[in-house]
Amino acid sequence: MPLFIDLSKLKYDIYHKKMLNFEAIRANMKRFIIILILTHFALAGSFAQSVISGKIFDAKTNEAVASVGIVNALDGSGTTSNKDGFFSIAVQPDQPVTLTFLHVGFHPFEKQFSPKDFNIGQRIILKQKVEQLSEVEIMGVSTIDKAYRTEDVEIKTLEKSNLNDIGDLLRNVPNMSGVKKGAVGIDPVLRGFKYSQLNVQLNGGTRIEGGCPNRMDPATAHVDLNDVKHIKILKGPFALKYGVNFAGVVDMTTYQPEFYEKYKTHVNVLLGGQTNHTGFKTKVGVSGASRIVTYNMTGSWKKYGDYKDGNGDWVPASLQHQTYTGNLGFRISKKHIIYASADISQGSNIDFPTLPMDERKDDTKLYSLNYLANNIGNSINFIRFKAYYSDVNHEMDNKNRPFSDTMVAVSKIHAINSGGKFGINLKVGQAQLEVGGDYENITKDGTRLKTLIMQPMLPSKEEDLWNTAHIRNLGFFAEYHRPGQVIDWTAAARFDVNNATSGSLTRKNMAGDAVYSNDSTTSHYNNFSVSGGLSWHISKSSDLFFSLGRGVRSPDMTERFIILLPVGYDPYDYIGNPQLKPEANNEIDLGYRFRNPSAGNIEISVFFSYVTNYITGVLVPPSEIKPQTKGVLGVKRFINIDKAFMTGFEISYRTPAKFLWEINFNAAYTMGWNPEVKGVIFVDGVARVQVIKNDPLPEIPPFETYISFNYKLFKRKFVPAVSLRVAAAQNRVSEAYNEQATPGFVTVSLDIKYQFNNFLKVYAGIKNLFDRPYYEHLNRNIIGAKYPLYEPGRIFYANLIFNF
Amino acid sequence: MKTIASLIFFLLFIFSACTKNNQVSINYQATGAISEYILYYQDADGVLQNVNVKPESAQDVYNIKFKGAQGDIVYVSGRYSDPNTALRITIKIDGKIYKQAANEGDTLTFLTVSGVVPYQ
């Protein structure tokens, strides 16, 4: 019998929460025990190490738990429990150690052992995970590999970051980018899809409607990065239980209720600061839980100034922001959890140099009530219910701009998004079927007050930005998942009933005469979305996945109801079109996953999208409507065109977790084109409308690759890392949108992590080490200038994290 | 004990995060006139007020003082009907001249000085 067992694979599988092959584990158990005993004696004899050993039990049934992965946080060594639940692990003598116990069916458990605990049999109790499923886990995003590409941004990435904006963080995800207009509020772009083509949500379903017509406050801008624990990205129109999904879901998780056997309190403090874009951030969190009650409260504050770009020029980028959150949860019985959340955030004086205004004040309130029930009878896996209310008061003005010398403009917008969802997950043989419904109700109202401050009598005029605009969406969904030894099958469908209306869309000039008016603002659509996919387990290490789907979305507020504002990439006033048809994304994804504990993880994916009724803007003759914004070239109206195409790929590789050194690599590319579009071409300074064939879609990021290397020193306590980001030039630019090509760039960053002890972690680093002047293709141009918003030059930063 | 300490710590943090006062002193000054003129100005509440000023000499300074905040519109506009007079209007913020303008013998146009209290 060969004395061989792939322990690292087992640990790796547990770490990645993969379903374990228990038959294989059992078959290897004899060999495992022999190795365990030999290893135990070898280690004990040759290195005079101590041993922590014991037995692991299920808290619910009191039965022994086999195949639990046990990891020593100090040096990364590990083992697994045998079929009788026994484990034994060698540790350094006279040194406290923390062991983490991991099993796919149980909640991770961490315990600190002092030297007096060594060589004494321990009794470890694990709680079944099904008792503590959180909203995110119940949503099915964490445990099962999908038949399409997904990405995770973990808390480690968030903690080590000097970033202050979620959109900025997401730009590091393969094939994600962001439209940058100012200090914060980078609007996520996923595989070239953006704005309401993406479903961006909080904690598994809370939706936020930003106030600004120019999207200076997308949904991600209303959530503090310091509160985020995890971000999940589901690419493509395949996941249909999260609400309307046209091209992808970005789910930000800030809180998951946890309960403990004995009451515990934790305090978490973050202090961070940086040079250039000089500023500080701080966060204090207090959490506590018993078997019945769990709570947490956080408060965070940050303030940053302007920054110097790589050319040494100052860029306005000041901001101030504070957030308070509170969560309270009750386990009302063994299988039923209810919890409520509140999040209040206030931003002030945030610079947006690419827009005509800066954000003066933002007051956002998010509330949600959630109910979870697990394992109800033999046929129900779980039931979940969520109700939420998000309220955004957004104020912006041009008071810090040169043109405020003659006219001061102040816009105030109130946007409310309320709704909820209900789902029930059923056991259907070996499969799971989830059915449910969701509802979203968006209202938006706002005005702009223009005051002519150089005129006698201080005349002013108020005009509508949104005129009591209203969109309601009621959806019903079903998702079926059948895991198998060889193939996992997935199918999903949803049906949406979408209604929209608004007050009259009217714009008057300063003399009070109407330059545009539209009273036909009501629309009603029934949309059907469907997807299907499979994961073929070619071998233990390899999966091939394939998904096909059609995601349909109704037009958003801007596309329907905007009234002559320059909200696009190009310098045109846009007017909404309440009669737009829904846009549909027909997408096919194909991918390959390879996961090997000795070779690492490789994932390759390609996609192709055929978008019908693609929503874009076309020029309106000046004889019909004249622009109302100074400096724009004309007016464009949102319309549907027959079709557009997108295609691209992602490649990523990561070395095995067991190595002391680690390499992360990813590369991604997207291209999109419009087969035929009418564009405005300037010939000798004269504008001409012309049909352009195969025009690239605007605002598509270029080919980009990222590689990082780190090495774990001093028992993994000290981890220095270097990372390199290479973005190619983007020369595929839209002629119809007068889009400008952008050069490529390379940036290098350094960072270190130092785990001082169990209570203190330090992250520090240098971003843009060589102080390179660069800008992303999706950065907008500085208002009144022809050059783009440059990224910051060299930044030194440090974050201290205390956990008590 | 740990719980109480944690909560106190948390509350201290919350209170320390309060925004600082951004109040400023605004002073509108009109001078240089030898005969009656009318001033229109925006007050602390953002309301447009007017006042008839009858100076005794060109050295008389008519002052309007109030507290304002960063981002407030400051506006003074004056006009006279005597072609032999003049007018100088100054807006001071926290004692420093923010904007100033003057004219002489112009009975047709309003002399307007305005702006926005700058953000620090």
Supply the CATH number for residue A112's domain: 2.60.40.1120
| Crossing angle of helices A22-47 and A7-15, rounded to 10° | 110
Q: Which of A301, A404, A804 sits opposite B17 (nearest CB)?
A: A301
DSSP three-state, residue A34: helix
Verify whether the Cβ–Cβ distance B115 to A360 is below 8 Å. Answer: no
Asked which of A30-39, A491-500, B2-11, B100-109 is least confident by mean pLDDT, the reply is A30-39
Burial class (CB in 10 A: 0-12, 13-18, 19+), A276: buried
Per the CB < 8 Å rule, is A453 touching B19?
A: no
Phi, psi of A353 (to 5 degrees): -65, -10
| Strand blocks (E) in A576-701 | 583-596, 600-620, 635-654, 661-683, 686-696
The CB density around residue A19, as the number of other CB atoms within 10 Å, is: 13
pLDDT, residue B11, reads 63
Q: Which of A458, A802, A803, A804 to mutate to test the interface with B (most CBs of B within 10 A)?
A: A458
Q: How far is B63 from chain A (nearest CA, A)?
A: 20
| Residues in chain B, pLDDT under 70 | 1-21
pLDDT at A106: 75
Question: Does A243 map to a domain?
Answer: no
Three-state SS for A184? Answer: coil
Cα A626 to the chain's mean position, in Å? 39
Report the domain count for chain B: 1
Of A265, A267, A360, the CB nearest to B71: A360
**Look-up: residue for tokens 């009070």?**
A512
- The rounded mean pLDDT for chain A is 86
CA distance A304 to chain B (A): 13
Cβ contact A299–B40 (<8 Å): no
A227: nearest Cα among A366, A133, A304, A324: A324
| Overall average pLDDT of the A771-786 stretch | 90
Q: Which residues contact A322 (CB under 8 A, 6 or more apart)?
A: A299, A300, A301, A302, A345, A346, B17
Task: Specify the pLDDT at position A23.
Answer: 45
**For residues B26 and B117, is the Cβ–Cβ distance under 8 A?**
yes
Domain boundary among A235, A262, A296: A235
DSSP A630: T
pLDDT above 70 (res A466): yes
pLDDT of residue A4: 38
First-to-last alpha carbon distance for chain B, in angstroms, is 42
Query: Are the C-beta atoms of residues A84 and A66 closer than 8 Å to each other?
Result: yes
Q: Across chain B, which distance is largest between two alpha carbons, in Å?
A: 80
Is the model more confident about A678 or about A307? A307
- Is residue B7 included in any domain, yes or no? no
- The mean-pLDDT minimum among A156-165, A194-203, A222-231, A741-750 falls in A156-165
Structural domain boundaries enclosing B109: 20-116
Residues A704 and A747 in one domain: yes
In a domain, B1, yes or no: no
With bands split at pLDDT 50, 70 and 90, how would you rate the model's confidence at A28? very low
pLDDT in tens, A46-59: 334 578 888 888 87
Q: Is the pLDDT of residue A572 over 70?
A: yes
Do A217 and A359 share a domain, yes or no?
A: no
- Predicted confidence at residue A315, as pLDDT, reads 94
Domain contains A1? no
End residue of a domain, out of A72, A93, A127: A127
**What residue numbers bound the domain in which A764 lies?**
248-803
* B100: in domain: yes
Residue A321 has pLDDT above 90, yes or no: yes
Residue A668's contacts (CB-CB under 8 Å, 6 or more residues apart) are A174, A175, A648, A649, A650, A651, A703, A704, A705
Same-domain status, A74 and A197: no
* Chain B residues closer than 8 Å to A299 by CB: 10, 13-14, 17
Assess whether A120 and A151 both reside in one domain.
Answer: no
Distance CA A412, CA A741 (A): 35
Cα–Cα distance for residue pair A792/A695, rounded to 1 Å: 32
Collapsed DSSP state (helix, strand, coil) of residue A404: helix
Inspect the interface and report whether the beta carbons of A265 and B6 lie closer than 8 Å. Answer: yes
Average pLDDT over residues A439-455: 94
Dihedral sign, Cα of residue A251, residue A254, residue A257, residue A260: positive
pLDDT reported for residue A501? 95
Q: Give me the CATH number covering residue A679.
A: 2.40.170.20
**Are A122 and A143 part of one and the same domain?**
no
Candidate from A267, A400, A453 with C-beta closest to B73: A453
In sequence order, what E strands does A429-572 have? 431-452, 460-482, 487-501, 505-508, 514-518, 523-537, 542-553, 563-565
Whether A338 and A450 map to the same domain: the answer is yes
In this structure, the answer to whether residues A590 and A648 fall within a common structural domain is yes
Considering the domain boundaries, does residue A241 fall inside one? no
**Paired tokens of A505:** 């869309």
* CA atoms of A618 and A623, how far apart (whole Å): 15
Is B6 a domain residue? no
The whole-angstrom distance between B58's CA and the closest CA on chain A is 24
Helix (H) or strand (E) holding A10: helix A7-15
What is the token pair recorded at A519? 């009273």
Distance, in Å, from the CA atom of B53 to the CA atom of A302, rounded to the nearest integer, reads 48
> What is the per-residue pLDDT across A2-27, written as a single tens digit (0 to 9) for each?
333 343 443 334 333 333 344 443 44
Q: And the tokens for A270? A: 């973050």
CB spacing of B116 vs A408 below 8 angstroms: yes
Same domain, A741 and A695: yes
What total number of domains does chain A contain? 3
The pLDDT assigned to A32 comes to 41
| pLDDT grade for A763, boundaries at 50, 70 and 90 | very high
pLDDT of residue A101: 83
What's the CA dihedral at A160, A162, A165, A166 to 10 degrees?
-20
Mean pLDDT of all residues in A766-781: 95
| Whether A44 and A167 share a structural domain | no
Number of H helices, E strands in chain B: 1, 8
Distance (Å) from the alpha carbon of B71 to chain A's nearest alpha carbon: 7
For residues A234-253, give the mean pLDDT.
95
Q: How many CA atoms lie within 13 A of A29 on its CB side?
A: 17
Kindly determine whether residue B119 and residue A400, on different chains, have CB atoms separated by under 8 Å.
Answer: yes
Q: Do A284 and B9 touch (CB under 8 A)?
A: yes
Residues A121 and A157 in one domain: no
Task: Indicate the residue of A299, A400, A404 with minimum beta-carbon distance to B17.
Answer: A299
Domain membership of residue A191 (yes or no) is: yes
Q: Please name the member of A285, A297, A451 whose beta carbon is closest to the beta carbon of B73.
A: A451
Domain at B35, CATH number? 2.60.40
Count of CB contacts below 8 A, A vs B?
70
Q: How far apart are CA A219 and CA A215, in angstroms?
A: 9
